[in-house]
Amino acid sequence: MVRIQIGEEAPNFSMDSVNLGKVTLKDYRGQRLLLMFSRYFGCPVCQLEFDELTGLIKLYPELKVIYVNQSSLESARKFLEGKDVDFPVISALGIGGKYELYDLYGVGKLNPLALLEILQKARVARKNGKVHEAYEGVETQSPANFLIDETGKVLLAEYGLFKKEKILKYLEK
């Protein structure tokens, strides 16, 4: 699986979101975009990272976000219910065990370091009241984050957990 490199053009895609209709990456040209790949909404670490993401957006409301995960449409809608989410959330459902959007960005399985980070962050998630719900998608799926500049080039390609401090370095420039 080929990973996206810094400086490359972000691969275009067009998909329906759970909450805001059709999403096409090229429509975000001229704006800075965070493309965030998660696992599924039943994952406590993913729930915690979603909260961290919404906190980042409050600090940088000009940052555009597309959030991708492997939850079913029903689970995603249930998770979003009552939340003020003004960015598209895509349920990139697997077809025949393949998750095409994840593959397009080279987002594969967890490596041993990412697995260790998830276990550590799971403790924090539990302390914050996050609970594990239904498993969906691939349990060993790695999360990933891509910061894309106004021209469509990748500024940051982070395969692993959401690290707000890394993204802040690019936003504060």
Share the mean pLDDT of the chain: 93
- What pLDDT digit, counting tens, does each position of 44-85 carry? 999 999 999 999 999 999 999 999 999 999 999 999 999 989
pLDDT, one tens digit per residue, over 1-43 is 789 999 999 999 999 999 999 999 999 999 999 999 999 999 9
Range(s) of the domain holding residue 57 = 14-171
- Note whether residue 53 is domain-resident: yes
Would you say residue 81 lies in a domain?
Answer: yes
Q: Distance between CA 69 and CA 40 in Å, rounded?
A: 5
E runs forming strands in 45-88: 64-69
Alpha carbon of residue 33 to chain centroid: 12
Query: What pLDDT does 139 receive?
Result: 81
Return the higher-pLDDT residue of 135 and 35.
35
52 in any annotated domain: yes
pLDDT over threshold 90, residue 138? no
CATH number at residue 150: 3.40.30.10
Share of the chain above pLDDT 90, in %: 75
Cα 92 from Cα 167, distance rounded (Å): 23
User: What is the rounded distance in angstroms from the CA atom of residue 62 to the CA atom of residue 48?
Assistant: 22
